[in-house]
Amino acid sequence: MASEVKSFQAACYQCGGIRSFTTLGGTLQESVETGDVKDRTFHAASIRWTGSEALTRAVLGDAESAGVEYCADLEDFAGGRQRRCREGVVGDGTEGGYQVVVDGLQNGTPYYYRAYVLTGDGYTYGNIRALRTKGGDDLDLTEEWTDLGLSCLWANQNVGAATPEEPGLSLIWGGFNQNSAAGTAGILKHIDMYGSICGSTQYDAAQFYMGTPWRLPYRSELEELQAKCTWEEGSRQGKKGYMVIGKNEKAIFLPYVAVNFDIRQVIYNDTIIHSGTVTYYKDHELLLWSGDCVHYPVEGGRIYAPYALSGPSHIVNVFGLTYTAAYIRAVRPRE
């Protein structure tokens, strides 16, 4: 005698609204519905479902008995390479049903998913649907800045850029255009007095172009951006770069820029890796100025070498400033 038909809904919600459900399932076992995704982030998607008494028994029983399967390649379902997610199920099956978060995903990446339930009759699956995690095209640009959960707020685009994917102005450190460097004597006097050019009306190009309270970041703020955020390659409007994602799942996009180095010496993390004049060109690179620098004694005086962010793991000291221009991502204090 055929068992009583019972059903449950495995509803996944996605930005953009809820679409109509399609019901699948056999007459001799639990039926399954796979819905849409409503809430998604750069690394996760919220999944919830409601269901019958049989589903409640499955959810509260065997850890593999009900949940969502997902994969990045549609063929993984047929090959048994999909991943199952049930950890962190909340709810009791009544108002609002159950909810689980599938995490550990990559930004801006399409995934396929389906609901499943395991009963005495075996596995029953919902129809396969697709979702895409947030990427560079999904940034929140409501404000000029983004709160990454750090000690300061970061601008959404480089100085001189109209959108996050544009490189903006390429500037000599301490100067306000690409071909004009600040005088060595004057800038060293300022550094001796204040320790940095951050916030200086004479030498801080971020403040010059964007106004108070915008300024160049301190070296410590660059290090904080590296240490406390997740850096992943991504894209925005077809332009490649880094997605820098805070623990609060807020993000900024740092576009790759064409950096033309014509310098005398480069120091990575205070270790000299090159000495002597060299010119080289990189198309997929970062070079973002800070307002801090070190200065070294030389015959007849001293020279200064500012810190610059060159990627997710390096802070660079650049010598020969009249030969090197870079970009700026401004910061402002938390209000």
Which pLDDT tens digit goes with each residue over 5-41? Answer: 222 233 333 322 222 223 333 333 355 667 677 689 9
Residue 54 has pLDDT above 60, yes or no: no
As a whole number, mean pLDDT of residues 188-196 equals: 80
Q: Among 78-87, 96-105, 196-205, which is the least confidently predicted range?
A: 96-105
Between 34 and 184, where is the model more confident?
A: 34
Q: What local confidence, expressed as pLDDT, does residue 20 receive?
A: 27
Task: Give the dihedral sign, CA 238/239/241/244.
Answer: negative
Domains in the chain (CATH in brackets) are 7-134 (2.60.40.10), 137-333 (no CATH)
Residue 280: CB partners within 8 Å, gap ≥ 6? 261
Q: What local confidence, expressed as pLDDT, does residue 184 receive?
A: 61
Given a contact cutoff of 8 angstroms between Cβ atoms, the answer to whether 244 and 292 are in contact is no
Q: What local confidence, expressed as pLDDT, does residue 215 receive?
A: 97
Q: Is the peptide bond before 255 cis (omega within 30 degrees of 0)?
A: no
Q: What local confidence, expressed as pLDDT, does residue 28 receive?
A: 30
pLDDT in tens, 111-153: 998 888 777 777 878 888 899 999 999 999 999 999 999 999 9
Q: Which two tokens stand for residue 174?
A: 């301490």
Tell me the pairing of strands 7-12 and 31-34: parallel
Given a contact cutoff of 8 angstroms between Cβ atoms, the answer to whether 107 and 43 are in contact is yes
Residue 62 has pLDDT above 60, yes or no: no
pLDDT in tens, 303-316: 778 888 988 988 87
Where do we find the tokens 């978060």?
101
User: Helix H segments across 142-288?
Assistant: 184-194, 205-210, 219-228
As a whole number, mean pLDDT of residues 221-245 equals: 95
As a whole number, mean pLDDT of residues 81-87 equals: 78
Q: What local confidence, expressed as pLDDT, does residue 97 receive?
A: 60
Q: What angle do CA 6, 10, 15 make, to 5 degrees?
A: 155
Mean pLDDT of the chain: 76
Q: What local confidence, expressed as pLDDT, does residue 263 receive?
A: 45
Residue 224 has pLDDT above 60, yes or no: yes
What predicted TM-score, i.e. pTM, was given to this entire model?
A: 0.76
